[in-house]
Amino acid sequence: MADTAGRNTRPLALHVPEPRFRPGDAVSFDDLDLPAAGAVGRPPVDAAPAALRDYPYTLIRVLDPEGRAVGAWDPRLAPDRLVRMLRGMMLTRAYDDRMFRAQRQGKTSFYMKCTGEEAVAVAAAHALHRDDMCFPSYRQQGLLIARDWPLVDMMCQIYSNAGDRMKGRQLPVMYSSKEAGFFSISGNLATQYPQAVGWAMASAARGDTRIAAGWVGEGSTAEGDFHAACIFAAVYRAPVILNIVNNQWAISSFSGIAGAEATTFAARANGYGVAGLRVDGNDPLAVFAATEWAAERARGNHGPTIIEHFTYRVEAHSTSDDPSAYRPADEARAFPLGDPIERLKQHLILIGAWDEARHEALRAELVEQVRAAGREAEALGTLSGTAFNHGFETIFEDVFATMPPHLKEQSEQMAEERRVAGV
Amino acid sequence: MNMIQAINSALDVCMTRDEAVVVLGEDVGYFGGVFRATAGLQKKHGKTRVFDTPINECGIIGVAVGMATYGLRPVPEIQFADYIYPGMDQLISEAARLRYRSAGEWTCPITVRSPFGGGIFGGQTHSQSPEGIFTHVAGLKTVIPSNPYDAKGLLIAAIEDPDPVLFFEPKRIYNGPFDGHYDRPVQPWSKHGSSEVPDGHYTVPLGKAAVVRAGEAVTVLCYGTMVHVALGVAAETGIDAEIIDLRTLVPLDIETITASVEKTGRCVIVHEATRTGGFGAELSAQVQERCFHHLEAPIERVTGWDTPYPHSLEWAYFPGPVRLTQALHRVLKD
């Protein structure tokens, strides 16, 4: 203990943030400052960062409580586009539900749902061009689904089966698809952020027209890579969109542990002199509009944008997590931004482009689509069913483009070991 | 050419041949690098191909990985190898494993250049030899030249290689070879055969060691600055040492090493990095595994001490001629 005797000063106190609610507490988000839909103006895409410094402290919302699209951020999308967005979000949810069950049935080791966050990926994918490059985190499966990537391919990755193009090397949900512009996911957090900036810088340096987008969770903004990406993006005005998915929880650590008590995550942009927007992440039209704004800004060589998507992680972090141990069971229901699928559905019904019967028919169709894909994928094996779908010699492949002598030697040693063991 | 000029020439040749080659790092652009290795490149190739970066090694390497996934061939410079640590996660978890984790869908052809090693009064923050940390990582290649000809040929081979390569440049011998006696002047490279460096394109293949001095009594395994220390000791003592310049630590040319040790029956390993867990331990293990029945004396390691590099006492740290000569006498006494 420090000796404070004789010093006429109060002892210092360390502040350790705590979430407002723990299991058993009554949940209320009444004090959350949520601007009304349409309340925030839409600046020109070439606005100087200095003119944008208030945007990170508010919340861009388009859909009002009745489901009307209001205000300057209304992207005025055609109904068929809105229905495709709805379909993408519903398919993502159906897919999540089936793969979660598959994990519980022991067909794979691990799964991560994005329930409640479907708009963050699906609406963004609709606002980007198909050939723009995505550097996602592990909860943006909606990007692949919105880009019509085959569900069977995604499922094969989860099962590490014979159809897994990654040869069973990656943790389930760590997809990769160069063709779909979806970068290989890393378990080390925020590493994809500088990579997204580098890709965007390369595109700009080569006079290409494609832009890049990266995603991290709010917890990962504490990583050094986040700040490395921001400074490079700012310095070179890289054509990149840096998305922060603030779903309130980084496993059991609430957003305050990543700095949310002191400021917003979007406000990090101000320190770097780049554009920052903060959007209602459960409002698909707001996510689309903000992404479209940032994409236009990037394409016009006006620089990067940091977008904070304010949302909520409805489910557990992963199948290995138990959120009832650290947050109230009804917190997700009490979160005031609602469900993104329900909100878009309500909007479509309001404008006369949708109805409950069509919605139910689509839901049933998507469940069947996922089921059919599941059967097809499982026919190629599951992690538990046919555990070793890839030849043992593949262990030594792809470490380098050409196998060097020491790996050839080790490969032969393993073959001999298996021969002796009779397997 | 001296080694810096040879490295500059390699970069120029690669940038001229391939638009995809880009150079980035602290001070590499307008100024041409604190060691001048990138001098003139920005003026010739433009500032979107050779540019200064923020002081952020994680950013330098992470951005280079992203550029490589776009289709470029970035050559990031880490100004001193001592500063590579903030970028290590991008090297170890990303660059090294990208091909493997995506089964070849994504690759990462970056070449990270970095001056390393001591002997320039760099203190503990400008003298380290971190190669052993990276040779332990699957998926990275590690290259260390010992002369201007090899430096250019190896660097071109590294830049053209489809995999991530760490290219450590022994800064003590940038300007000329050095026999390990700190009180003697550095010889200029112009008096040395390997300073004859062709202007154009050529490669020295990765994974091939060079027998830089033939001998019968003992095999000395070394790389970088230590090649010159070993050559100096052999000349001074007259010990009939066969000196092998490894040139590439991963992949390692174990055939050349074992052929030599089987012939001489004795082996001394020399490197400047700290001893415990260093690359010398790996070399010692491999030689023991393969050449045990040919060995007539225990394998010796001559290394830096297991301490940080002390500024004022760097020559007491440096594995110089006395330390190497003692080791050679020990293995030769039986």
In a domain, A214, yes or no: yes
A402 and A298 housed in the same domain: no
Question: Which two three-digit tokens encode residue B173?
Answer: 């011998």
In a domain, A154, yes or no: yes
The predicted structure's pLDDT at residue A389: 77
The predicted structure's pLDDT at residue A423: 84
Average pLDDT over residues A370-397: 89
Cβ atoms of A139 and A315 within 8 Å: the answer is: no
The predicted structure's pLDDT at residue B98: 98
Check whether A406 has a pLDDT greater than 70: yes
Domain that holds residue A402: 392-421
Provide the 8-state DSSP code for A388. -
In a domain, A42, yes or no: no
- What is the domain-level CATH number for residue A79? 3.40.50.970
User: With a CB-CB cutoff of 8 Å, which residues 190-209 of chain A face chain B?
Assistant: 191, 193-206
Contact A202 B102 (CB under 8 A): no
Residue among B59, B106, B252 minimizing CB distance to A178? B106
pLDDT band, residue A421 (cuts 50/70/90) = very high
Q: Is the dihedral of CA A410, A412, A416, A418 positive or negative?
A: positive
Burial of A65 (0-12, 13-18, 19+ CB in 10 A): exposed
A348 and A415 housed in the same domain: no
How many other CB atoms are found less than 10 A from the CB of residue A41?
Answer: 12
Q: What is the pTM of this model?
A: 0.97
CA dihedral B90, B93, B97, B102 (to 10 degrees): -90
Tell me if chain A has a CB within 8 Å of the CB of B162.
yes
pLDDT band, residue A183 (cuts 50/70/90) = very high
Residue in B97, B102, B107, B136 to test binding to A, most A beta-carbons within 10 Å: B102
A96 and A241 housed in the same domain: yes
A408 and A349 housed in the same domain: no
Average pLDDT over residues A410-421: 95
In a domain, A168, yes or no: yes
B293 has catalytic annotation: no
The verdict on whether omega for the bond into residue B251 sits within 30 degrees of 0, i.e. cis, is yes
Cβ atoms of A277 and A291 within 8 Å: the answer is: no
A166 and A97 housed in the same domain: yes
pLDDT band, residue A1 (cuts 50/70/90) = low
Whole-Å CA distances, A208 to A239, B51, B230: 10, 19, 51
Contact B105 A178 (CB under 8 A): yes
Q: How do residues A267-285 score in pLDDT, each as one tens digit?
A: 999 999 999 999 999 999 9
Tell me if chain B has a CB within 8 Å of the CB of A166.
yes
Give residues with Cβ within 8 angstroms of A22, minimum separation 6.
A326, A327, A328
Average pLDDT over residues A96-100: 98
Q: Which of B69, B62, B74 is nearest to A134 (CA)?
A: B69
Question: Which two three-digit tokens encode residue B299?
Answer: 């394998």
Whole-Å CA distances, B130 to A214, A321, B84, B167: 32, 38, 9, 11
Contact B59 A193 (CB under 8 A): no
How many domains does the structure of chain A reveal? 2
Cβ atoms of A308 and A238 within 8 Å: the answer is: no
Residue A379 backbone dihedrals phi, psi, to 5 degrees: -65, -20
How many other CB atoms are found less than 10 A from the CB of residue A139?
Answer: 24
Contact B64 A199 (CB under 8 A): no
In a domain, A21, yes or no: no
A115 and A160 housed in the same domain: yes
In a domain, A20, yes or no: no
Give residues with Cβ within 8 angstroms of B40, minimum separation 6.
B8, B12, B32
Give residues with Cβ within 8 angstroms of A262, minimum separation 6.
none
A87 and A117 housed in the same domain: yes
The predicted structure's pLDDT at residue B41: 98
Which entry of B45, B126, B228, B271 is annotated as an active-site residue?
A: B126
For residue A184, the distance in angstroms to the closest alpha carbon of chain B comes to 6
A396 and A279 housed in the same domain: no
Residue among A133, A170, A404 minimizing CB distance to B101? A170
Cβ atoms of B98 and B106 within 8 Å: the answer is: yes
DSSP notation for A97-127 = HHHHHHHHTTSSS-----TT-HHHHHHHHHH
In a domain, A15, yes or no: no
The predicted structure's pLDDT at residue A4: 60
Residue A159 backbone dihedrals phi, psi, to 5 degrees: -85, -5
Burial of A275 (0-12, 13-18, 19+ CB in 10 A): buried
Check whether A122 has a pLDDT greater than 60: yes
A318 and A404 housed in the same domain: no
Question: Which two three-digit tokens encode residue A249?
Answer: 């929880």
A232 and A151 housed in the same domain: yes
With a pLDDT cut of 90, the percent of chain B lying above it is: 99
The more confidently predicted of residues A9 and B56 is B56
The predicted structure's pLDDT at residue B186: 85
Cβ atoms of A283 and A340 within 8 Å: the answer is: yes
The predicted structure's pLDDT at residue A386: 61
A91 and A123 housed in the same domain: yes
Contact A406 B100 (CB under 8 A): no
Average pLDDT over residues B40-52: 98
The predicted structure's pLDDT at residue A7: 76
User: Which residue of chain A has the CA closest to B164?
Assistant: A400
Task: Give ipTM to 2 decimals.
Answer: 0.96
The predicted structure's pLDDT at residue A385: 72
Check whether A2 has a pLDDT greater than 80: no
The predicted structure's pLDDT at residue B185: 85
Contact A198 B63 (CB under 8 A): yes
Residue B114 backbone dihedrals phi, psi, to 5 degrees: -160, 125
User: With a CB-CB cutoff of 8 Å, which residues 95-124 of chain A face chain B?
Assistant: none
Q: How do residues A291-315 score in pLDDT, each as one tens digit?
A: 999 999 999 999 999 999 999 999 9
Check whether A31 has a pLDDT greater than 70: yes
Q: Which of B170, B156, B66 is nearest to B108 (CA)?
A: B66
The predicted structure's pLDDT at residue B123: 93
Q: Which residues of B touch A196 (CB under 8 A)?
A: 66
CA dihedral B89, B91, B93, B96 (to 10 degrees): -170
A74 and A159 housed in the same domain: yes
Q: How do residues B221-260 score in pLDDT, each as one tens digit?
A: 999 999 999 999 999 999 999 999 999 999 999 999 999 9
Contact B93 A196 (CB under 8 A): no
Question: Residue holding tokens 């554009």?
Answer: A275
In a domain, A300, yes or no: yes
Check whether A3 has a pLDDT greater than 80: no
Average pLDDT over residues A316-322: 96
pLDDT band, residue A388 (cuts 50/70/90) = low
Tell me if chain A has a CB within 8 Å of the CB of B89.
yes
- Average per-residue pLDDT for chain A: 96
